[in-house]
Structure 1
Amino acid sequence: MKRTALTHKLLVLGVDGMDPRISKKFLAEGKMPNLKKFIERGSAREDLRQLGAIPTITPPCWTTLATGAYPGTHGITCYWRQSPDSLDAVVYNMDSRNCTAEQIWNITSEAGLKTLVWHWPGSSWPPTSHSENLSVVDGTQPGSVNMGVAQLDWEKVIMASPEIKEVRYAPRVEQQAGVGCIITDLESTIGGDVDDELMELWWGDTARQGGEIRTYIMEDEDTEVVIGSKVAYDIINSPLKDATGWANAPEGAKEFTILTSGGVMRRPALILKNEAGEYDRVAIYKNKKAEEPIVILEKGKMVSGIIDDVTKKEVTKPGCRSMKILELDPAGDKVRVWISNALDISNDQLWHQKSLYKDVIENIGQVPPVSLIGGENDELVREIFTPSWDIYCKWQADSMNYCIKEKGYDVVFSHLHNIDCAGHQLWHLAKTLPAWDHTDEKVYQEFIEKFYVQTDKYLGEFMHLLDEDWTVLLVSDHGLIVGENVPPIIGEYGGLNTKVMEELGYTVLKKDENGNSIREVDWEKTRAVQIRSNYIYINLKGRDQYGIVDPKDQYDLEEQIISDLYNYRDATTGKRIIGICLRNKDAVLIGANGPECGDIFFSVEEQYNRLHGDSLSTSEGYFDTSVSPIFVAAGSGIKTGFTTERMIRQVDVAPSVAVLLGLRYPAQCEGAPIYQIFSEDI
């Protein structure tokens, strides 16, 4: 049956981690005026909520939004995919070839609509249609465009003062909040081998080629929240002295040295005086003979788009960086400078068509790197992490608007990761818990507000489309909670969770000579393991490599595990920590069944869950946060100023897009169009 289209231009604005509950809080405080305009000019529920797919984690939820199918149907069931050969290992999952359901953008492009899929994680790369109308940018990871493949060098902080006597370099040093950057014992700081390639494990050749990744989560220090909030960056200490030997050093300038590329590339730098005789700028040069600097930095201003050579694995390429002065003494006795990671400006491997990359960088500018440091160091969050995302959000908005206006795209599916990236570093610090009692929760609550204000500004970049007959859908994959407690070791998505399953006697780890558990499963004694966000696997004979459980005993063992999990209590509060627990066959009720799911699905109870992923999308947390995703629709084909009571689900988004554009549903679609919000009956 053919339908009459309700719109001919459609933009899906996806914001990873955007939570309707806290959005309403900031709306009520007048801090999100653009979101308010979208709501007033469109339709949503009163609570702005939709029900997220399960598990409530990035790749499954974005794939559900794209296909209208539940994770058990489309096959993207967690951040990682279970290794087919090992119960304690995972493999790379953000690959469209793992998706077993049809994506809506294949339908739009094959129907003749010029379609752009912009950094949609989980099921967009590589492109799954040969239509010349389909363009795809990245999607292999949720961070930022090109982050997974183009990174050449890590972030660094340079400290220079007269007290430092020689240039010294230390890679990936973990710093506690408030700790300075002068290294007094470099050798002990560096320790053993240092891996300065942040993404090598997650996005390197081993992961991409399907190699196993084996991570054991045994203690709080192994959890993603703790690891993600650590502040780690390269540190360079340099003498600060009068400038000598320069071709063109201004009067009164003082020099220091910057090391990049793992410490092998030197860049001389000068601090410069203003007309009042105070030092207020930093000029960085390729060498002392250069007439012009690579960049001049002014206090209080982050500069992006800085191109300089970077050497990695003995190959030198031009890389794009951002830089900022963190501290500059007006008297010239101290300077601190932050330098971002470097992105290879020649890397277009995740752009289809490759000509699109050339057009964007020539007309908008190079992809700006975002910072991944901050965490418990509120200075770095304020001065580096947040403004780096300001720059990236503006670049992405400009790039998408350029594509719409100049390249003639009719349909755009887009994803922005600023809130989620901040959430994984910062949200747990917005409540004072024993593990982080050295931080101020009010400071981090203000950071949450800053990222929502930043997102609102990003939304405002597309407001003009409502006056140009476009339809705009605002969606997210999940929200992010500020946790009420430090959760137990179960439900962490990054690998094998051992502690609770050890306590219950289902997972047995091998011991060292002192009787302490080591990171190796004793398969001869292990009946079940908990791995990835929400799954428990029985160590089954005939199916698993080291299986010991007879298949005839599987049902009874599952019943025992489910009972034990429901009876498990937090040692401090005495409360239950497991929310729901279902066998695979019963998890069809929530769309979390099938061969890519475990033998048992479970969720962590509200108040004991992490940011998201281990919990249900109805979970709520501290500081008016929740795991729910947001949904707002406005523009052509959508009722104006309308509030619906309908429960909206993520599976409903793809069929709604289909109806709005007058197209068929995706082949495996399990949702239904949100017809109540349409301006015309269908």
Structure 2
Amino acid sequence: MNRTKRTKKLIVLGIDGMDPVTARRMVDEGKLPNIKKYLERGSARTGLDMLGAHPTITPPCWTTLATGAYPGTHGITCYWRQSPDSLDAVVYNMDSRNCKAEPIWNITTEADMKTLVWHWPGSSWPPTSQNPLLHVVDGTQPGSVNMGVAQMDWEKIIYASKNTDGLSFIPHTQKAAGVGCNITDIHEVLSSNERGHRSSAEEGSNYGFAQDADDEMMELWWGDAARKGGEIRTYVKDLDDTEMMIGAKVAYDKVFSPIKPASDWTAAPEEALEFSFLISAGTVSRYGLITKDDSGNYGVVSLYHSKSAASPFAVIPVGEIITKVDNATKKGITKPCCRSYKILELSPDGTDLRLWISNALDTTNNMLWHPSSVHDKILKEVGHIPPVSLIGGEDSELVDQVFEPSWDSYCQWQADCLEHLIDTEGYSVVLSHLHNIDCAGHQIWHLGKTLTPWSHTDETVYQALMERFYLQTDKYLGRFLHYLDEGFTILIVSDHGLLVGENVPPILGEYGGLNTGVMEELGYTVLKKDGEGNSMDEVDWEKTRAVQIRSNYIYINLQGRDPYGIVDPQDKYALEEQIISDLYQYRDQSTGKRVVGIALRNKDAILLGTNGPECGDIFFTIEEGFNRLHGDGLTTAEGYYNTSAAPVFIAAGQGIKTNYVTERVIRQVDVTPTMSVLLGTRIPSQCEGAPIYQILSEEL
């Protein structure tokens, strides 16, 4: 094969959850001028779409984009990995050692190309090559850089008023660590389960990380505990257990504080008002002054470590998000942390205040930066990682005032980081990931249609909020346009799109755990009952023939394979046939419509690349019209408000035809071999796709 380079420099701008249908519409409406420029200078399909891998879930799709292999081949087959010991449990999955296929970044460094892999979730961490040309930042969760390991304190809102009598702290309540697919404390998630430990210092030294990093935390990423232990059991029994319900509920600490005239301060201005609040899970005090602005109204909040402090550590004007470093304490350990602040409401007379305070990110945590010098360089030359908010959901004011603006700050920071590193470090290849659209999707996309569970929300409000994240993304992508004039090739890709559901989905296909609803109705899964006859979160394995777990998988409770198996292997084929038939006949109770799209045995699921030992005995999808956000249906699924589950593909720059529209069906497995052809490298060993030769400016 001709390995002539068609470009010397390649940037992949990955946007998690970006939907080509929404992007195409907004381009045509003139709302996404930078994406339009990429199209004018590059190639895409008319609809900007490609066919994604299945399931349409973040880790398997990003791994497919990096390897050119289908999930059944590379082995990352859902957000979670099936527990090897229990049919009703999952274990953490974003670990490169679970990937059985060769990633493109190992190929590029082998070809002497300095390569940066920035927050690519699913298969990039820990680095699987010792080549010093490979630099990797995070990739252990999709939210924002360091989100999974550096959080020291939760988000909070301070409610201060002259009518409040005393200081009180109400901690947030949450069902899982993080919102949707954003795991914010993996240590807490996994350490709640029994598991064995062993020293990981030797493995840590292999990857060049700080030797004084917490051994237990490192074990979660590198040891057998992360791969085989740390079982997580989540039973999805009804709508209240689904991500849509949980993710839309706002979880944050609440602090109530009295406002009164400032007294006993070292440096309080005249007429200043004071309040106090608690951070670090309610264990540490901070103090605030409310002062007048130039108009003579109370319009500025200043925060202090103590009343005796000579100066504040943060000064917050109305209407601005301010990001500063302050200490936070967790489990007796105190770290300097980056934190953001915004005034949500302040009465002109200073009698009422609502103040948002972000989560706290440990500024010293570099355990997911390889080499750690990249972390040091970013902090020195660009700045600390700005925390993103994870609250909003059904509270549209918080989405408007906090959630979206915090992501705007993060997008600017990430663009600053990538530009600085590209300009100063001499990378030939950069693969990057941004999670703003997907994070928003898991909180608010389902509110884009007014359905019964959310009848108190206005769909038009949320549709407008949804579009703001595309405007934000267009601005981000625009930061890299100038590289097209500097000899770079740029690919814009996503793992999947996000659709607005047409109906409330059945209790089937929720990726976060064991789905019991439909399988109980059909008689395949049986839960144990308590003394009052209520279903418990415990499977009755003596009566359970099959379970549905993760997004699209059904497992037979098989004798000889599963710990409590009751199905004779000789009966497995017939039982699969019965389950598939029952799934096709199952009807939604309110509409009478079929809710299962396709159902295939493992051997037949090779047609979708969802076969093999890491997949279930049956792979199924939810029928279009009953899909949740993404993950449960086909990549071709479409939804309300002109949305879809398909991923985006746009290519521009050196080696790519300009202003070109291809009719070719592009698949995610085609992206890696196309990168290989552009860079003149060999194609990864397990790659199953083919170069998108139609968009190349020179024939192969």
- Give the TM-score range, shorter chain: over 0.9
Matched letter for residue 69 of structure 1: A
Match of 1:221?
Answer: 240
Indicate the larger mover: 284-293 or 131-140: 284-293
Would you say the 8 A contact 2:149–2:187 is kept in 1?
no
Match of 1:184?
Answer: none
Would you say the 8 A contact 2:137–2:370 is kept in 1?
yes
Alpha-carbon offset, residue 201 of structure 1 = 4.6
Would you say the 8 A contact 1:481–1:627 is kept in 2?
yes
Alpha-carbon offset, residue 232 of structure 1 = 1.0
In structure 1, distance between residues paired with 2:563 and 2:108: 43
**Which of the residues 359, 365, 370 maps onto 1:352?**
370
Matched letter for residue 606 of structure 2: V
Match of 2:295?
Answer: 276
Cα deviation per residue 1:536-589 (whole Å; 9 max; x = unaligned)? Answer: 000000000000000000000000000000000000110000000000000001
- Report the aligned-residue RMSD: 1.3
In structure 2, distance between residues paired with 1:374 and 1:637: 43
Alpha-carbon offset, residue 109 of structure 1 = 1.0
**Which of the residues 253, 260, 266 maps onto 1:234?**
253
The answer to whether residue 626 in structure 2 is matched with residue 626 in structure 1 is no
Would you say the 8 A contact 1:578–1:604 is kept in 2?
yes
In structure 2, distance between residues paired with 1:198 and 1:55: 25
In structure 2, distance between residues paired with 1:483 and 1:274: 46
In structure 1, distance between residues paired with 2:295 and 2:32: 41
In structure 2, distance between residues paired with 1:572 and 1:30: 40
**Which of the residues 536, 541, 545 maps onto 1:523?**
541
Would you say the 8 A contact 2:148–2:185 is kept in 1?
no
The answer to whether residue 6 in structure 2 is matched with residue 6 in structure 1 is yes
- Partner-residue secondary structure (3-state), 2:538: strand
Superposition pairs for residues 94-173 of structure 1, below 5 Å?
Answer: 94-172=94-172
Alpha-carbon offset, residue 258 of structure 1 = 1.7
In structure 1, distance between residues paired with 2:296 and 2:676: 64
Cα deviation per residue 1:627-677 (whole Å; 9 max; x = unaligned)? Answer: 000000000000000000000000000000000000000000000000000
In structure 1, distance between residues paired with 2:625 and 2:650: 27
In structure 2, distance between residues paired with 1:410 and 1:363: 21
Would you say the 8 A contact 1:153–1:197 is kept in 2?
no
Superposition pairs for residues 223-372 of structure 1, below 5 Å?
Answer: 223-304=242-323, 306-372=324-390
- Partner-residue secondary structure (3-state), 1:262: coil
In structure 1, distance between residues paired with 2:329 and 2:497: 39
Distance 1:511 1:203, change over 3 A: closer
Match of 1:193?
Answer: none
Figure out how many residues of one structure are paired with residues of the other and give that number.
Answer: 661
- Partner-residue secondary structure (3-state), 2:503: coil
Alpha-carbon offset, residue 290 of structure 1 = 1.1
In structure 2, distance between residues paired with 1:377 and 1:578: 32
In structure 2, distance between residues paired with 1:100 and 1:309: 41
In structure 2, distance between residues paired with 1:4 and 1:198: 45
Alpha-carbon offset, residue 315 of structure 1 = 1.1
Q: Kindly report structure 1 stretches of 4+ aligned residues shifted beyond 4 Å.
A: 196-208
- Partner-residue secondary structure (3-state), 2:266: coil
Would you say the 8 A contact 1:52–1:477 is kept in 2?
yes
Cα deviation per residue 1:109-133 (whole Å; 9 max; x = unaligned)? Answer: 1110000000000000000100010
Would you say the 8 A contact 2:515–2:549 is kept in 1?
yes
The answer to whether residue 49 in structure 2 is matched with residue 49 in structure 1 is yes
- Partner-residue secondary structure (3-state), 1:451: helix
Would you say the 8 A contact 1:154–1:198 is kept in 2?
no
In structure 1, distance between residues paired with 2:294 and 2:529: 68
Would you say the 8 A contact 2:190–2:232 is kept in 1?
no
Match of 1:86?
Answer: 86
Alpha-carbon offset, residue 202 of structure 1 = 4.3
The answer to whether residue 403 in structure 2 is matched with residue 385 in structure 1 is yes
In structure 2, distance between residues paired with 1:49 and 1:273: 53
Alpha-carbon offset, residue 2 of structure 1 = 5.0
In structure 2, distance between residues paired with 1:382 and 1:204: 35
In structure 1, distance between residues paired with 2:99 and 2:187: 24
Distance 1:159 1:153, change over 3 A: same
- Partner-residue secondary structure (3-state), 1:446: helix
Would you say the 8 A contact 2:190–2:230 is kept in 1?
no
In structure 2, distance between residues paired with 1:458 and 1:656: 24
Alpha-carbon offset, residue 288 of structure 1 = 1.1
**Which of the residues 573, 586, 599 maps onto 2:617?**
599
Match of 1:402?
Answer: 420
Identity of aligned residues (%): 65
In structure 2, distance between residues paired with 1:150 and 1:565: 43
Would you say the 8 A contact 2:48–2:649 is kept in 1?
yes
Distance 1:197 1:412, change over 3 A: closer
What runs of 5+ residues in structure 2 fail to find an aligned partner?
175-182, 194-219
In structure 2, distance between residues paired with 1:515 and 1:406: 66
Matched letter for residue 144 of structure 1: S
**Which of the residues 433, 448, 452 maps onto 1:430?**
448
Cα deviation per residue 1:215-269 (whole Å; 9 max; x = unaligned)? Answer: 1000111111111111011011111000011111111110000210011111110
Cα deviation per residue 1:167-187 (whole Å; 9 max; x = unaligned)? Answer: 11000058xxxxxxxxxxxxx
Distance 1:648 1:205, change over 3 A: farther
Alpha-carbon offset, residue 9 of structure 1 = 0.3
Distance 1:197 1:14, change over 3 A: closer
In structure 1, distance between residues paired with 2:481 and 2:374: 24
Alpha-carbon offset, residue 275 of structure 1 = 3.1
Matched letter for residue 576 of structure 2: E
Superposition pairs for residues 164-183 of structure 1, below 5 Å?
Answer: 164-172=164-172
**Which of the residues 636, 640, 656 maps onto 2:674?**
656
- Partner-residue secondary structure (3-state), 2:392: coil
Would you say the 8 A contact 1:154–1:197 is kept in 2?
no
Superposition pairs for residues 577-596 of structure 1, below 5 Å?
Answer: 577-596=595-614
Would you say the 8 A contact 1:581–1:601 is kept in 2?
yes
Indicate the larger mover: 35-44 or 219-228: 219-228
In structure 1, distance between residues paired with 2:570 and 2:622: 29
Cα deviation per residue 1:32-59 (whole Å; 9 max; x = unaligned)? Answer: 0000000110000001100000000000
In structure 2, distance between residues paired with 1:36 and 1:241: 54
**Which of the residues 550, 561, 564 maps onto 1:532?**
550
Matched letter for residue 295 of structure 2: A
Cα deviation per residue 1:117-168 (whole Å; 9 max; x = unaligned)? Answer: 0000000000010001000000000000000000000000001111111111
Match of 1:549?
Answer: 567
In structure 2, distance between residues paired with 1:276 and 1:524: 73
Would you say the 8 A contact 1:149–1:203 is kept in 2?
no
- Partner-residue secondary structure (3-state), 2:172: strand
Normalised to the residue count of structure 2, the TM-score between the two structures is 0.93
In structure 2, distance between residues paired with 1:364 and 1:220: 43
Alpha-carbon offset, residue 286 of structure 1 = 1.1
Superposition pairs for residues 501-516 of structure 1, below 5 Å?
Answer: 501-516=519-534
Alpha-carbon offset, residue 276 of structure 1 = 2.8
Distance 1:387 1:81, change over 3 A: same
Would you say the 8 A contact 1:125–1:136 is kept in 2?
yes
Normalised to the residue count of structure 1, the TM-score between the two structures is 0.96
In structure 2, distance between residues paired with 1:54 and 1:363: 40
- Partner-residue secondary structure (3-state), 1:292: coil
Would you say the 8 A contact 1:8–1:410 is kept in 2?
yes
